[in-house]
Amino acid sequence: EKCHGPCSASNCSQPCAQHFHGEIGFICNGNKWQKSTETCTSLSVETLFMDSNSASRLSLAAPSITLHILDYRTPEPIRSVAQGIQKNCPLDYACIINAVKSSEATSGNIAFIVELLKNISTDLSDNVTREKMKSYSKVANHILNPAVIPNWAFIPDKNVSSDLLQSVNWFARQLHIQNEPEHIVDELFIQTKGFPINNKTSERSLSFSMNLNNTVEGILGIIEIPRQELWKLPPNASQAVGIAFPTLGAVLKEAHLENAHLPRLVNGLVLSVILPEKLEQILFTFEKINKSQNARAQCVGWHSRKRRWDENVCETTLDTKNRVKCRCNYTKLMMSFSILMSPISVDNKVLDYITCVGLSVSILSLILCLMIEATVWSRVVMTDISYMRHVCIVNIAVSLLTANVWFILGSNFNKKTQDYNWCVAVTFFSHFFYLCLFFWMLFKALLIIYGLLVVFRRMMRSRMMAIGFAVGYGCPLVIAATTVAITVPGKGYVRRGACWLNWDDTKALLAFAIPALVIVAVNLVVVLIVAVNTQRPSIGSSKSQDVAIILRISKNVAILTPLLGLTWGFGIATLIEGTSLIFHIIFALLNAFQ
């Protein structure tokens, strides 16, 4: 009862139900107890071999090496499992199947079964036959049922899922294939196929079709070995083995993930391959589980040592609504592959075209603008106010031009590689120069206010320049540098899959959105002030030249401010998950051509 109702302490635990050993842990979340861990298990070495009447002998014969599964129990000897199998079912390992399949797949039992499979693959994988692989897979299949997938979340050891994948791969590595292609395992949630290969074999493939969540149509996965790779093999026979998992991707936990609370979603089968060492490249075809148009795919390989998906070992060669084709590098550390999905990223050729054409036109226009300014400079800077007006124009053009160049660098670079430090640099300069654009717009507004208040008659040009550069470049530098300093240590500065400010994790994008939208609001207020003041007769003819310049600046601000506000208003709308593609297109048009 202590773990029910409102909570006061930080954590709580209670014993498991009858016939189970272990405990259930709770944490206090929102003034309510929330289940966090569970170690309830009914399985033990004795229950595995209870029908064989050998439990007592196994306990006596066990050496001192122990099985560390649950902290609350006295560790049981690890060798008793291997000895029990060798004594009761050395030919097919079938004597453990009934005990496992009749057990409830609690979090504690899942952890026990994974440890069981791990030790079988370590101690009993010298000569793996088809019968042994079938029994091994039946045990693994029991804990991969979609109905028990939620129970994986409460296992204290977050490496359990990667241990399972590595154990199955290691066990299958010792499997011996006969002279004909074999369909070795055909369980609902794990399939294994294999065939013999040599340097004269034509291009070979393994095709899997597996149901997910009781769907009528299976999810497709194909492994292909290119002909040029098979040429590398010696004349004597080798073999290729493929294993498919439809549900394992849902429980694979990545270690040292940058955004741990935003796990990357697997959107296809997890396909493992066991190949001869000389083969280095392999082709995959994955059918998408989520076929949403906004679900962009990324081909990845599972790094068994780092325990995480690695994007650098695979190249996406085709990405359609339904299927993805990948070319991946195969090593002993990289034997399992799949596709990840980014549910809120939009990859559309229309957007790419708009951005490419728009930025090209903008960059040429800005260069032309700077050339015109350089040509007419001496004839248009007659007064201090006109001088500062054109300083603003030049710096706005330079800021936007530089920001566009960095945007192109970041966009093209992100498609080719994923170097984090370079992506941080690209994001920093893009952020900085886009902020400079807005802060020079703010300084234009300040010019208008000071001009109306006749401040410029008492202020030296050098002081105006100092204020202008402090506002135009100093403020953006402080904001951009502070954002980096706060978010980079926690790997929360850039977005996943794009060299731009993070939104999902740290909300770093607010360091751009808030200053930009505040400046837009301030400039609109200034335009209203100008509209009121220019109707007053107090502005005399002696200042007519300055007044004309102020009005010219005001018109410029009156046009640019709504345009910038509208542009980034649509930009913020695109951050909302499920936003229509039309919002992305409007933002791309306004942003690219501004």
Q: What percent helix, strand, coil does the chain show, rounded to 5?
A: 50, 20, 30
519-546 core/surface letters (b: 16 or more CB in 10 A; e: else): bbebbbebbeebeebeeeeebeeeeeeb
pLDDT band at 61 (very low <50, low <70, confident <90, very high): very low
- Compute how many other C-beta atoms are within 10 angstroms of the C-beta atom of residue 161: 22
Return the pLDDT at 135.
94
**What is the distance of C-alpha 307 from the center of its chain?**
15
pLDDT of residue 271: 95
Question: By percentage, how much of the chain surpasses pLDDT 90?
Answer: 29
Residue 545: is its pLDDT beyond 70? no
- The per-residue pLDDT for 48 is 82
Give the position of tokens 């020079």.
440
Report pLDDT for 35.
Answer: 87
Most confident of 34-43, 231-240, 459-468: 34-43
- Asked if the model's pLDDT at residue 39 lies above 60, the reply is yes
The reported pTM is 0.60
Question: pLDDT (tens digit, 9 = 90+) per residue, 300-317?
Answer: 999 999 898 988 889 888
Q: Are 259 and 504 in contact (CB under 8 A)?
A: yes
Shortest CA distance to 311 belongs to which of 294, 297, 295? 297
pLDDT in tens, 327-371: 999 988 889 999 987 644 555 667 778 878 888 888 999 999 999
SS3 509: coil
User: Which whole-number Å values give the CA distances from 522 to 363, 364, 525, 529, 567, in the listed order?
Assistant: 28, 30, 5, 11, 16
pLDDT band at residue 401, thresholds of 50, 70 and 90?
A: very high
Say yes or no to pLDDT of 580 above 70: no
When the pLDDT of each residue in the chain is averaged and rounded to a whole number, the result is 80
Residue with tokens 């654009």: 437
